[in-house]
């Protein structure tokens, strides 16, 4: 299945040559994508210093703010084990022998608040310039321009109720649940790894070790403390200029604010009784009970 919006086009995967060992990190937006990219980088390079910005090592392949030829050249030139960012559900990703698909879940309510802040932090002039240059370079002439963002309670109401076609992979509750459902249905596959934001917060070291085991990566015990520390929220925010995505395109008003809060349970300050009831009704239409429980709580682990 193809997923396409003003921002991303999963058809960029068509013809892309996967290699055995490739890792595709596919998450809904604002569910721990950059965190997981950082963890994968630390496991692969086994040092916090990568020599290049994380976004250039692990680009969002489908995003229409960098010409496809540039993204492809970067990935094809890599000789290390590749780990590629995606916001495409599993049914829109290519199959590859020896490829591992990593997905991260998060309480959708927290993801919605993170997205609202994310939109407020975008330098829209820089974004439009990068987007326009990319679609021109790629010869794309049939994509709609981005809609004007909304904020406040209106954003949350639209996020809950948005019924945009899922083939557009919208930033909505329906889009988030659909994405995670495609991985939830495949969670017992040997090539699929499910992580959860709550579990990463509860036991980051343990989850990093679990991911390393699933990826077949051995890490000397002496290196673990430095790697775990480098993947903390504080350290990633401190190094935002080289860790946050899209810094080369200067898409953010503040690179540091890309890492805004990073905690769970923020939704409790924003979702009043009416909004929460509205959310729960919509979620019950979109997700079976077992998936909904995992979305909200993760494994759960004992903190």
Measure Cα distances from 261 to 105, 113, 117, 234 in Å: 17, 10, 10, 10
What are the backbone dihedrals phi and psi of residue 196, each rounded to the nearest 5 degrees, phi first? Answer: -140, 140
SS3 269: helix
- Placement of tokens 């992580």 in the chain: 195
Cα separation, 142 vs 125, in Å, equals: 21
* Cβ neighbours, 10 Å, residue 220: 7
Residue 44: closest CA among 288, 277, 212, 274: 212
With 0-12 / 13-18 / 19 or more C-beta atoms within 10 angstroms meaning exposed / middle / buried, residue 178 is buried
Give the contacts of 105 (CB within 8 A, at least 6 positions apart): 27, 31, 180, 194, 195, 196, 197, 294, 295, 298
Catalytic residue among 2, 80, 87, 118: 87
Q: Contact 55/257 with Cβ under 8 angstroms?
A: no
Could you tell me where the beta strands, DSSP code E, fall in 20-75? Answer: 23-26
Cα separation, 94 vs 2, in Å, equals: 11
The residue length of the chain stands at 303
* Residue 87 known to be catalytic: yes
CA angle 5, 280, 302 (to 5 degrees): 95
Q: Contact 231/42 with Cβ under 8 angstroms?
A: yes
* Cβ neighbours, 10 Å, residue 71: 20
Residues that are catalytic: 87
């Amino acid at each position: 299945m193809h997923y396409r919006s003003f921002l991303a086009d999963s058809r960029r995967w068509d013809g892309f040559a996967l290699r055995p060992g490739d890792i595709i990190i596919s998450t809904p937006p604002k569910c721990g994508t950059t965190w997981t990219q950082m963890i994968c980088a630390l496991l692969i390079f086994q040092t916090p210093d990568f020599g290049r910005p994380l976004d250039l090592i692990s680009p969002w392949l489908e995003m229409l703010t960098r010409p496809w030829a540039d993204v492809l050249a970067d990935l094809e030139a890599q000789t290390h084990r590749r780990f590629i960012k995606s916001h495409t559900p599993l049914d829109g990703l290519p199959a590859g022998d020896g490829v591992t698909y990593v997905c991260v879940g998060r309480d959708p309510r927290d993801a919605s608040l993170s997205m609202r802040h994310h939109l407020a932090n975008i330098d829209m002039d820089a974004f439009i310039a990068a987007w326009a240059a990319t679609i021109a370079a790629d010869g794309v002439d049939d994509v709609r321009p981005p809609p004007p963002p909304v904020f406040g309670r209106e954003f949350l109401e639209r996020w809950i109720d948005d019924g945009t076609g899922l083939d557009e992979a919208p930033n909505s509750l329906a889009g988030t649940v659909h994405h995670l459902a495609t991985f939830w249905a495949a969670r017992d596959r040997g090539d699929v790894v499910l992580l959860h934001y709550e579990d990463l917060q509860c036991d980051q070291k343990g989850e990093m070790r679990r991911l390393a085991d699933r990826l077949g990566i051995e890490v000397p015990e002496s290196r673990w403390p430095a790697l775990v520390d480098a993947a903390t929220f504080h350290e990633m925010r401190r190094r935002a200029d080289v860790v946050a995505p899209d810094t080369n395109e200067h898409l953010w008003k503040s690179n540091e604010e890309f890492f805004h809060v990073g905690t769970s349970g923020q939704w409790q300050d924003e979702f009043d009784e009416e909004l929460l009831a509205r959310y729960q009704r919509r979620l019950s239409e979109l997700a079976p009970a077992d998936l909904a429980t995992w979305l909200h709580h993760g494994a759960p682990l004992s903190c």
